[in-house]
Amino acid sequence: MNSYFRRQLADYVEYHRDPWNCAFHVFGIIALFTGCVLPLSTWQVSVFGVHASVAVAAALPVLIYWLLLDAVVGLAIAGAAALLLFLAASLANHASLVQTWAVTVTLIVAGVAFQIIGHQVFERRKPSLTDHPAHLLLGPMFVMTKLLIALGFRRDLADIIEREPQSSSQSGIAVRP
């Protein structure tokens, strides 16, 4: 287990205690990822004889980063990403350029809205991204970790996810569970 991942996850959890906020993050992250890779799925590249879309090439570095943070969670995300990349490629292959961009904008706006609503309405605090920009890449790890714990896997991470809230440095009060 990467100790850096454990520390980052513990910090991220403090901003994501409300179950409704977490549910909104699931939909928001899926929408944002799909919206970001959809237009990139329209461009094909060939590197060393391997043909792939720019979407796959763009996703690989972050997938490698997630695998380095935690191999099991990273592999689970890679599987989910493969499904979303396939969905994006299918949409891009069957839609016009205008339709592709319309869906892209809709997904990105919806994804951002899910994140904002989750934090403002349910968590009643600003997103962790505003204090820790690196948390942008931690959202998928957090969501997948919660899913793996719910399915009975990765109980070693449950102590971080389910830990009692620490005092908030911003307000001096405990963040509600």
Nearest to 145 by CA among 134, 156, 129: 156
Backbone Cα Rg of the chain: 17
Residue bearing tokens 């454990």:
6
pLDDT band of residue 165 (cuts 50, 70, 90) is: low
Note the residue count of the chain: 177
Note whether 92 and 41 are within 8 A (CB).
Answer: yes
Please list, in sequence order, all residues whose beta carbon lies within 8 angstroms of the beta carbon of residue 171, skipping any fewer than 6 positions away. Answer: none
**If DSSP codes are grouped into helix, strand and coil, which group holds residue 110?**
helix
Q: Which amino acid is at 176?
A: R
Beta bridge partners of 167: 174
pLDDT band of residue 3 (cuts 50, 70, 90) is: confident
26 class by beta-carbon count within 10 Å (0-12 exposed, 13-18 middle, 19+ buried)? middle
pLDDT band of residue 174 (cuts 50, 70, 90) is: very low
Mind listing the pLDDT tens digit for each residue in 15-27? 787 889 889 999 9
Say how far apart CA 88 and CA 177 lie, in whole Å. Answer: 36
pTM given for the model: 0.83
